[in-house]
Amino acid sequence: MKELRRNMRFIGTLAVVLFVGLAAWFAMTVYAQGNIWASDVHNSRLKTTGSLRGDITDRDGNVLATTAEDGTRLYTENALARRALSQTVGDTAGMSGTGVETFWSSTLLDISSSLTDRLSELFHSTRHVGSSVQLTIDGPLQAWIASQFPRGYRGAVCLINYKTGEILAMVSMPNYDPYDLAARSEATVEDTAFLNRCLQGLYTPGSVFKIITLASAVTHDPNVVTQPFTCAGEWEYEGGHIVCLGGTAHGDVDLKTAFKRSCNVTFGKLAYQLGLDRLKATAERFGFNENFKFGDFVVYNSSFPTRIDNMNELVWAGIGQGQVLVTPLHMALISGTVANGGVMMKPWLVRCIVNSLGAETSEGAPAAYRRVLSEPAAGTIAEYMYETVRGGTATRAAIKGLNVCGKTGSAEISDDKSVETNAWFTGFLYDEAHPYAISVVIEGGGAGARMPSELAAKALKKAVEMVG
């Protein structure tokens, strides 16, 4: 009998422990994933609330989405702006999974409103209206940048305030018109138009990754800035060889000159010299291989190889090729980190949330994500990026009267070079009054020195004019 009671106590205790553990797991999961679950387009409660969606506005209060009295969802009248903002604002069909309409649908419908609020609305015979969401996005700026994107090309432009972390523009091409979905003319929507390339596009970075390799070098060996390098246009090493663009021989160069001329040979040697562990540590410090959880949106994970099978893979990783992948938003954050003295700011998209009574229930605020670099290291990289725009591969990004710093990239995406390279530019304004960082990628755009550099200059100049 005693043994039976002992066994029953053990089973009872085990059941309690399992129940408490399950409850704790459930609470933690709801805390971490609750907003995503509530916003899922398959959530039946979103269709049965009877609520009218709240407004979505840009940073200046311009209405990007609103709801008519009959429940029809209305978007900005300007067709160009409507398309330019499509993946950011989203649609009620949930086709743009990262759009505010989807990710913030529980807030826009206010499905968590209190019972007293609902009873009050019932008493006054009014239909419940959800909360409004104001974004950090500048709607006219995003529409203007989209209008300047090279016609016929795909890609992305991401522009942020590197002091605050606010996302000012997220242009993804191609885009779509949410009214096309309402009219059931989905055939007119171009393939991959629902994809927000700023958040979901994983691209080979090419030479813009040299910012990371440079950061690793100056962090682990400050004397590297005075180290001489020799480039004969190509370099053979154990397991492979690497060439500079067009086979250009840069001759005897220091690190600054190699960076501003985007010398593959020098940066391949630098990666070889650093080794996988140190280069990977720096990349991960910048956020590679990390599951970003920013709260306002979902961004795909950038990746850097955690192991290599031969030295060839390491050398190519050092110039942003091989297994290295990055999103345009992350690339803008990397440039912004350099500009911000080595501190990466947490990016945010939602400026504030206002309920149907006009009360502000939530407000976004700047927050540091982490210190990535020392100030001296960040200053050295910023100087090299400034020289790259002043007299290197990124001269087309220069803006009269402003200090532009940047790096170009031409990322190979085929082994036999049969496909045109993706063209990159990333950089920033070194200006306390206009702390803007940008990344531009144009798929099949060729050399980063051309189209993306020119587009970045236009976008940064326009941001100064429109945002201030």
pLDDT at position 17: 62
User: Residue 39's closest CA among 100, 105, 88, 109?
Assistant: 105
Token digits of residue 179:
């009214």
- pTM to 2 decimal places: 0.87
Token digits of residue 444:
């099949």
Label residue 176 exposed, middle or buried (CB < 10 Å: 0-12, 13-18, 19+). Answer: buried
Mean pLDDT value across residues 369-380: 97
Each residue of 55-111: pLDDT tens digit?
A: 999 999 999 999 998 889 999 999 999 999 999 999 988 888 889 999 999 899 886
Show the DSSP H helices in 261-393 as ranges. 264-274, 276-285, 311-317, 328-339, 375-391
Question: Taking CA 142 as the corner, what is the angle to CA 138 and CA 148, rounded to the nearest 5 degrees?
Answer: 150
pLDDT at residue 323 is higher than 90: yes
Handedness of CA 186, 192, 193, 195 (dihedral sign): positive
pLDDT at residue 310 is higher than 90: no
Rg over alpha carbons for the chain, rounded to the nearest Å, is 25
- Helix (H/G/I), strand (E/B), else coil: 153: coil
Contact between 410 and 446 under an 8 Å Cβ cutoff? The reply is: yes
How far apart, in whole angstroms, are the C-alpha atoms of residue 349 and residue 296?
6
Where in the chain are the domains? Answer: 206-347+370-466
Mean pLDDT value across residues 13-33: 55
Q: Which fold has domain 206-347+370-466?
A: Beta-lactamase (3.40.710)
pLDDT at position 309: 84
Q: At 233, is the pLDDT very low, low, confident or very high (cuts 50, 70, 90)?
A: confident
6 HSE (CA, 13 A, CB side): 3
Token digits of residue 139:
């709607």
How far apart, in whole angstroms, are the C-alpha atoms of residue 264 and residue 318?
9
Q: Which amino acid is at 346?
A: K
Token digits of residue 445:
């755009």
Token digits of residue 204:
């080979």
pLDDT at position 6: 65
Question: Considering the chain, what is the average pLDDT of its residues?
Answer: 87
110 HSE (CA, 13 A, CB side): 23
* Beta-strand relationship, 56-57 and 132-135: parallel
Q: At 12, is the pLDDT very low, low, confident or very high (cuts 50, 70, 90)?
A: low
Residue labelled with tokens 């979901």: 200
pLDDT at position 24: 56
Each residue of 68-81: pLDDT tens digit?
A: 988 899 999 999 99
Q: At 112, is the pLDDT very low, low, confident or very high (cuts 50, 70, 90)?
A: low
* H/E element, 439: strand 436-442
Each residue of 170-215: pLDDT tens digit?
A: 999 999 999 988 655 555 677 789 999 999 999 999 999 999 999 9
pLDDT at position 8: 63
* Other CB atoms within 10 Å distance of the CB of residue 14: 10
Each residue of 138-173: pLDDT tens digit?
A: 999 999 999 999 999 999 999 999 999 999 999 999
Each residue of 408-449: pLDDT tens digit?
A: 999 887 776 778 899 999 999 999 999 999 999 999 998 888
Q: At 46, is the pLDDT very low, low, confident or very high (cuts 50, 70, 90)?
A: very low
